[in-house]
Amino acid sequence: MNKVFIAPRRYVQGPDTLKEAGSLISAIGKKALVLWDANVKGIVGETLIASLKDAGIEVVDVDFNGDSTKGEADRVAKIMSDEGVDVSLAVGGGKTLDTVKAAAAIAGSKVVTVPTIASNDSPTSSFTVWYDDDGNCTGFESWGVNPDLVLVDTQVIANGPLPAFVAGMGDALGTWVECDACSQVTAPNLAGGTSTLVAMAIAKLCYDVLMENGVGAMKAVEANTVNDAVEKVVEANVLMSGLGFESGGVATAHMVANCLPSFPECHGLMHGHEVGFGVITQLCLDKTFDDEKRIKIVDFEVAIGLPVTFADIGLEGVDRERLKVIGDICGGEGSLCANHPFEVTSEDIVNAMIAADELGRERKNAAGLA
Ligand SMILES: [Zn+2]
């Protein structure tokens, strides 16, 4: 299998970059569909529309219906075709971005992602995560191309909700530990090949940046300010995490995270919160992982407020019988848990989740938080 690395064509990040949207996007297209919800439009609409119009770009303004369903993607794709747009902007969170990526693939439009929260790594990737009309996740699909431009305004992100920013760190925290696991068995990545040295270096940098700047960035975002730590962590959450997972691969942390939504108690969690608990599960599953580093990672999660125990993810008192549902999927055919240099059974996953909860409680105790 070949080594494959994929990435967006251009990534632009900084405070107030939205004001430059027009000049950047005029190099990509002349008629732009903009998909967003009313809340996001209220926050960034005026600045963005003014910038696009100043650059002579015609705007087709479309309200997002709230979920990345196939029906919604078809609806938006039809508007793209009917209006003859040549570029489409997705402004908001992961579901808005994923819908535009899918619709643009159908209609043949260029794609610009404008994340207004840094809660996951959708902005740079070629993927859409699909939901059904009841809000259940039904799988994911790659369009084979990454966005033409990723435009990240760090002031907008710092003004956004802190839990979303912390969730982004949870998603990014999985990057290195999962890429590292995949590289040990030359597992396939999500780009149709195996990992490159570049993807591995980005994944390790992602981890180092979070460890050094995560707490400082969290405090700055709490106060709605952009400092050096915020700039670095936004780059980790959006760019490094996105490039790392797609070109490096994923393993148990994401597999467990993707199973958690099958419990109704977990429905309020963001993807990055689920990955945060999944990371600890993977570190408890991997007996070869350095003890000191495992504790350091859990302490980091505790410090920034990621969920580290069953109680934190709404599963206080959960028994082995219920956990076995996740164990069976993780230990079954086609599972990402195969991306480790050791065999993983259903029982191993149940034991690792219980060990993760115990370690999480112990470290919260040590931090005086239990
Ligand atoms: Zn993820």
Ligand 1 centroid – CA 21 distance (Å): 27
Ligand 1 centroid – CA 184 distance (Å): 20
The alpha carbon dihedral of 191, 194, 195, 196 has a sign of: negative
Instruction: Tell me the two tokens of residue 290.
Output: 């350095």
Ligand 1 centroid – CA 197 distance (Å): 21
Which pLDDT belongs to residue 121?
86
Which pLDDT belongs to residue 261?
87
* CATH architecture under which domain 11-158 falls: 3-Layer(aba) Sandwich (3.40)
Ligand 1 centroid – CA 120 distance (Å): 6
The neighbourhood of ligand 1, an ion, using CB within 5 A, equals 171
| pLDDT averaged per 10 residues, the chain (length 370) | 96 97 98 98 98 98 95 98 98 96 98 96 94 83 96 98 97 97 94 95 98 98 98 98 96 95 89 97 97 98 98 96 96 95 97 98 93
What predicted TM-score, i.e. pTM, was given to this entire model?
0.96
Ligand 1 centroid – CA 242 distance (Å): 8
Ligand 1 centroid – CA 305 distance (Å): 18
- C-beta separation of 103 from 76 below 8 A: yes
Ligand 1 centroid – CA 122 distance (Å): 8
- C-beta separation of 91 from 36 below 8 A: yes
Query: In the 8-state DSSP scheme, what is residue 122?
Result: T
Which pLDDT belongs to residue 138?
84
Which pLDDT belongs to residue 136?
75
Question: Position of tokens 């909860």?
Answer: 357
Q: 337 in helix, strand or coil?
A: helix
- C-beta separation of 124 from 147 below 8 A: yes
Ligand 1 centroid – CA 307 distance (Å): 15
- C-beta separation of 112 from 31 below 8 A: no
Which pLDDT belongs to residue 103?
98
Ligand 1 centroid – CA 206 distance (Å): 13
Ligand 1 centroid – CA 281 distance (Å): 15
Ligand 1 centroid – CA 121 distance (Å): 6
* CATH architecture under which domain 161-366 falls: Up-down Bundle (1.20)
Q: 113 in helix, strand or coil?
A: strand
Beta bridge partners of 130: 139
Question: Position of tokens 């164990």?
Answer: 327
CB-count burial class (<10 Å; 0-12, 13-18, 19+) for 2: exposed
Query: Cβ contacts of residue 62 below 8 Å, gap of 6+?
Result: 33, 34, 35, 36, 76, 79
Ligand 1 centroid – CA 271 distance (Å): 7
Domains of the chain, by residue range, sit at 11-158, 161-366
The alpha carbon dihedral of 65, 66, 71, 74 has a sign of: positive
Ligand 1 centroid – CA 272 distance (Å): 6
Ligand 1 centroid – CA 50 distance (Å): 33
Ligand 1 centroid – CA 165 distance (Å): 13
